[in-house]
Structure 1
Amino acid sequence: MSQQMDNRAWAGLLFLSVLWGGSFFFVGVAVTEVPPLTIAAIRVLLAAVILQIVLRLSGLVLPWRREVWQGFLVSGLLNNAIPFSLFFWAQSQIPSGLASILNAMTPIFTVLVAHVFTADEKLTPPRLLGVLIGFTGVTVMIGTDLLSGIGHNVLAQGACLLATLSYALGAVYSRRFSRLGVAPMQVAGGQFIASSAILVPLALLVEQSWQIATPSWPAIAAIVALAVLSTALGFVIYFRVMTVAGSNVNLVTLLVPVSAILLGALVLGEQLAPRHFAGMAIIALGLLAIDGRVLSLIRRSRA
C-alpha cells in the first residue's frame, strides 16, 4: 500500500465523496424527528440486510472463521457504532457545516494513527502538509464564520473529534482483512451485522425506540437513502478503495464537503460563492501534495 494512489483509487474516492456528501443532509432531515441512536441502528440494520441479499445474489458467503468475526466486531465498533452515534447526536446540537469541518479532521488523525501502528504508511512532510492544506481548504469553502462557534457546545464538538479518531483507528485496523483474504463486500456485510448487534439493543435500551412516533415520509426517505446509498453502497466502495490505497481512503472526508456543496448547487439550486471555488482549489492543492506524483515529476525534471 503505497503513499501514491492510482487513478482507480482517486475515482473511487470521488464517487464515495458523492455518496457520503449526501449523508449530512440525510441526517439533518432525519434527526429532527428520530433520536440519533435509533437512526444509527436503523442505518446499519438496513445496510446489513441489503448486503446479505447482494452477497447471496453474487454467490458470496461470509467466512465463519473466529478471527474474521472478531475483526468484524472491532471494525463495526470503530467504523460504525461509535462514529455514527457520536456524529448523529452532535448534529442535533451543532450546525451540519461545523460538523463537516470537524469531520475533515479524520485524515489528520489517520496519518498520525497510521504512522504509529503501520510499517508502510509512515508520516512524511508532503503527506502531513497536504492534509493540513486540505483541511484549510475545507474551512475556507464552508466558511470561516462557522469557526466562531468553536468553543460553544464543546461536548458536541468533542463528540465529533472522537468520531473522527474512531474512523482513523477503523481505517488502519480494517487493513487486516486483506491479509485474511476477505473481499470488500464481505467485509462490509460482516461489519454491518456486527454493528447492528451493538446498536440495535443499545437504541432499544437507551431511547426506547418502539415508543417513537411514526416519522414523516421525508424523514423515512432520508433514513432509507442513508442506509442504501451512504452506507451499504458507500462502505463497499470504501473497503474496495482501501485494498489499493490503504488508510489514504480517509482522504475522502476532505472531498465530502466539496460534493455536498456541489450537490446543493446542482439539486437545490444553491448559489456558489467565491469562497467555495477558493476552498476547492486549496483542497485540490492539498490532494496533489498527498498524491506525490506531481512532486515526483518535478524532482525528475530537475534531475
Structure 2
Amino acid sequence: MAASDWALLILLSIVWGGSFLFVGVAVKELPPLTIVALRVVMAAIVLRAVLAILRVPLPRERRVWAAFLGMGILNNAIPFTLIVWGQSHIASGLASILNATTPLFTVIVAHYLTADERLTGQRLIGVIVGFLGVAVMIGAAAFSAWDASVPAQVAVLGAALSYAFAGVFGRRFKAMGIPPLVTATGQVSASSALLLPLAFIVDRPWTLSVPSAGTLISMAGLALVSTAFAYIIFFRLLARAGATNVGLVTFLIPISAIVFGTFLLGESLAPRHIAGMTLIGCGLILIDGRLVSGLRRSVQVGRPAPR
C-alpha cells in the first residue's frame, strides 16, 4: 500500500475504535436499542445525502431491498445491539478485543457457506490459537463465579459471529452489481426502518431523562464519525487497496479503543485480557498469512543453493 493508504487505514482504525468510546459514554444514560436506532438513523441520513450529492440513485427492486434488510440485520441491528448491551457491563477496550475475533468466525462461516474460501491447516491453527485467547480473557473463574461480565463478553462474541455471517452474506451485492457505498446506505436505511419502531416500543424514549451534553456529543460522534464517515473511508480504501489490505484494520482497532478507554474513560485491563489479546493477535496473524509467508520467503532466500 502507498503511504496515503496506510494513513487512511490508521484513520479508519481510530474512527472505528472511537465507536467503543462513544458507546461507553452513551450507554451510561441511554438504553441499548435507543443508541443503536439513533446511530443507524443519523448515519442513513448522512449517507443518503452523500449519494444525492454524487447523484447516485438507490435501487428500487424488492429483491435488492430484501438483501439490504438481511445485511442490515446481520451487520447493524444484531451486532450493534449486542455490543452496546455488552459495554453496559464490560470495558470498551475489552469489548474491542473480543470484537476483533470477527475474522476467526469468518473463516469458519466462509468454509461452510462458500466454495472458494476453504479452511486451510494454517488458518485452522490460527482459529484455535485465537479462541484460546478468548478463553484466557474470559477466565476460568467464570465457571465458578458467574457475573454480568460473562454474558456481556459472550454478547460481544455473538456480535463478531454476526459480522462474520454479514461478511459472507454481503458477497451477493457484488454479483448484483451494486456499488459498495450504495450497499452501506441501503443497509443502514433498512436497519433504521426496523430499529426505530422497535426502540419506540421497547425503550419508550420519550419517558427517558434528557441526556447530558456529553452523551449527545457521543451519539453524534457514533453516528456521524464512527458510522457514516467510517463507511466513506472504508469504501474509498477498499477501492484503492483491496479487501485483504483493508482487513488489517482488525489488528489496529483494539489499540485505539484501549487508548481511548484508558485515558478518557479511566478503564483498565486485567493481565489475562492482555494475554488473551496477544493470543488473538497471533491467531489473526496466522489467518492473515502474509507475515508467515514473508518469513518463509526470507528463510528460503537465506538458504545456500544446493551443490
Query: Normalized against structure 2, the TM-score is what?
Result: 0.79
Cα shift readout 1:21-40 (whole Å, capped 9, x = no counterpart): 11111111001111110010
Give the Cα–Cα distance (whole angstroms) in 2 for the partners of residues 114 and 240 of structure 1.
25
1:13 CA drift (Å): 5.0
1:15 CA drift (Å): 3.6
Is 1:168 matched with 2:164? yes
The 3 A distance-change label for structure 1 pair 298 and 31 is closer
Q: Quick one: which amino acid aligns to residue 243 of structure 2? A: A
1:98 CA drift (Å): 3.5
2:21–2:260: 8 Å Cα contact kept in structure 1? no
Larger Rg: 2
1:106–1:250: 8 Å Cα contact kept in structure 2? no
1:80 to 76, 100, 110: 76
2:39 to 40, 43, 53: 43
The 3 A distance-change label for structure 1 pair 9 and 298 is same
Alignment of 1:1-303 (within 5 A): 14-130=10-126, 147=139, 150=142, 151-153=146-148, 154-238=150-234, 244-245=242-243, 252-263=249-260, 286-300=283-297, 302=300
The number of residue pairs the alignment matches comes to 293
1:12–1:241: 8 Å Cα contact kept in structure 2? yes
1:46–1:227: 8 Å Cα contact kept in structure 2? yes
Give the Cα–Cα distance (whole angstroms) in 2 for the partners of residues 12 and 149 of structure 1.
40
Give the Cα–Cα distance (whole angstroms) in 1 for the partners of residues 5 and 134 of structure 2.
21
1:137 CA drift (Å): 7.4
1:255 CA drift (Å): 2.8
The 3 A distance-change label for structure 1 pair 293 and 102 is closer
The 3 A distance-change label for structure 1 pair 207 and 213 is same
Give the Cα–Cα distance (whole angstroms) in 2 for the partners of residues 215 and 224 of structure 1.
12
The 3 A distance-change label for structure 1 pair 257 and 294 is closer
1:32–1:92: 8 Å Cα contact kept in structure 2? yes
1:192 CA drift (Å): 0.7
Give the Cα–Cα distance (whole angstroms) in 2 for the partners of residues 38 and 19 of structure 1.
21
1:292 CA drift (Å): 2.8
1:9–1:245: 8 Å Cα contact kept in structure 2? no
Give the Cα–Cα distance (whole angstroms) in 1 for the partners of residues 274 and 228 of structure 2.
31
Task: Report % sequence identity.
Answer: 53
1:14–1:252: 8 Å Cα contact kept in structure 2? yes
The 3 A distance-change label for structure 1 pair 161 and 260 is closer
The 3 A distance-change label for structure 1 pair 164 and 270 is closer
1:167 CA drift (Å): 1.0
SS at match of 1:88: helix
Give the Cα–Cα distance (whole angstroms) in 1 for the partners of residues 186 and 268 of structure 2.
41
Q: Quick one: which amino acid aligns to residue 185 of structure 2? A: G
The 3 A distance-change label for structure 1 pair 139 and 9 is farther
1:29–1:222: 8 Å Cα contact kept in structure 2? yes
